[in-house]
Amino acid sequence: MEKVILISIDGMRPDGFLNCGNPFAQEMMKIASYTLNGSTVFPSVTLPCHTSLFHSVTPQRHGITTNLYIPFARPINGLFEQIANHGGVSAMYYGWEPLRDVSRPESLKFSAYINAYTEESSDTSLTDMALYRIEKSKPDFVFLYMVETDEKGGHDNGWMTPAYLERISMALDNVKRVYEACGDEYTIIVTADHGGHDRAHGTDLPEDMTIPMFYIGKRFEPGRQLEGISILDIAPTIADIMSVTPAREWEGRSLAK
Ligand SMILES: [Zn+2]
């Protein structure tokens, strides 16, 4: 089973990525197949968007339209469940507690949560924990979720402010560490769940709905720009790379060659 790391950087706008001043942003555009014009789903809110990411259907289908989880009226297996059904080992590291509901019980072998407001540099600590587990256990799939860009950047200071851009740069430092430690063994996918404007998000404005996505690994041509892709394509792409069957209901398509 080919191995994948998915990194979600909450609220990272494409222009925030481009203007954060971290030199690794330029490097990512050279080593990845990528887009700076990807689409998320409406409402552009963290739990609805991540539920769509992992289940490859829109909020209209899965029914989660706020940050309050409710069981699906018509259940769909998500990426974690499909990987577990194929005998794969998954790990998840996350800085915002409601994200626990993107997988169902028994589909994770490793999981850790740190509250971003009670620990400074929670994103860095989560990255440390993910890298420790990768070195020790080599999970087949690792999901690393960083929230400081959104909470301490966008909401506390405003999207595209210097403080927000600094949080993106800090997140990219962590992406760089993951790439340098794991880039030979893992395909690495980096995305955002949504953008933002002023000090909020959730609307259908382009500032909220447009996300960057990066696919780094042997299945992806370096430096190639991808067009017309959506957050719904991430789960089918990861399943394809890992030789995991997608659930019948999934609506996205694989971008892997
Ligand atoms: Zn937010």
150-196 confidence digits (pLDDT tens):
999 999 999 999 999 999 999 999 999 999 999 999 999 999 999 99
12, 68, 19, 17: which is closest to 40 by C-alpha? 12
Q: Phi first, then psi: give them for residue 98, nearest 5 degrees.
A: -60, -15
Looking at the structure of the chain, the number of domains it has is 1
Report the pLDDT value the prediction gives residue 238, as an integer from 0 to 100.
98
pLDDT one-digit tens code per residue, 44-94: 999 999 999 999 999 999 999 999 999 999 999 999 999 999 999 999 999
* CA 20 – ligand 1 centroid, Å: 18
* CA 46 – ligand 1 centroid, Å: 6
- 38 falls in which pLDDT band (50, 70, 90)? very high
Tell me the mean pLDDT in the region 89-116: 97
Q: Is the peptide bond before 139 cis (omega within 30 degrees of 0)?
A: no
* CA 11 – ligand 1 centroid, Å: 6
Report the pLDDT value the prediction gives residue 49, as an integer from 0 to 100.
98
* CA 202 – ligand 1 centroid, Å: 8
Q: List strands edge to edge, sheet with 141-146.
A: 33-39, 210-216, 186-191, 3-9, 141-146, 90-94, 110-113
- 25 falls in which pLDDT band (50, 70, 90)? very high
Q: What six digits make up the tokens of 14?
A: 């494409």
Q: What six digits make up the tokens of 221?
A: 């041509």
* CA 16 – ligand 1 centroid, Å: 15
Q: How far apart are CA 52 and CA 46, in angstroms?
A: 10
| 76 domain-assigned | yes
* CA 150 – ligand 1 centroid, Å: 5
Report the pLDDT value the prediction gives residue 136, as an integer from 0 to 100.
98
* CA 164 – ligand 1 centroid, Å: 12
Q: How many residues in total does the chain contain? A: 257
- 100 falls in which pLDDT band (50, 70, 90)? very high
* CA 139 – ligand 1 centroid, Å: 29
Domain interval for residue 107: 3-241
- 26 falls in which pLDDT band (50, 70, 90)? very high
* CA 200 – ligand 1 centroid, Å: 7
Return the amino acid letter for 224. R
The CATH number that applies at residue 161 is 3.40.720.10
| 187 domain-assigned | yes
Tell me the mean pLDDT in the region 226-244: 98
Report the pLDDT value the prediction gives residue 145, as an integer from 0 to 100.
98
| 107 domain-assigned | yes
- 231 falls in which pLDDT band (50, 70, 90)? very high
Report the pLDDT value the prediction gives residue 204, as an integer from 0 to 100.
97
* CA 172 – ligand 1 centroid, Å: 18
Report the pLDDT value the prediction gives residue 33, as an integer from 0 to 100.
98
* CA 67 – ligand 1 centroid, Å: 10
* CA 156 – ligand 1 centroid, Å: 10
* CA 59 – ligand 1 centroid, Å: 17
* CA 9 – ligand 1 centroid, Å: 11
Tell me the mean pLDDT in the region 89-101: 97
Bridge partners of 90, per DSSP, are: 141
Report the pLDDT value the prediction gives residue 20, as an integer from 0 to 100.
98
| 195 domain-assigned | yes
| 248 domain-assigned | no
Report the pLDDT value the prediction gives residue 4, as an integer from 0 to 100.
98
| 232 domain-assigned | yes
Tell me the mean pLDDT in the region 98-113: 97
| DSSP result, 15-38 | HHHHTS--HHHHHHHHHSEEEEEE
| 256 domain-assigned | no
| 247 domain-assigned | no
- 242 falls in which pLDDT band (50, 70, 90)? very high
Report the pLDDT value the prediction gives residue 102, as an integer from 0 to 100.
98
* CA 88 – ligand 1 centroid, Å: 31
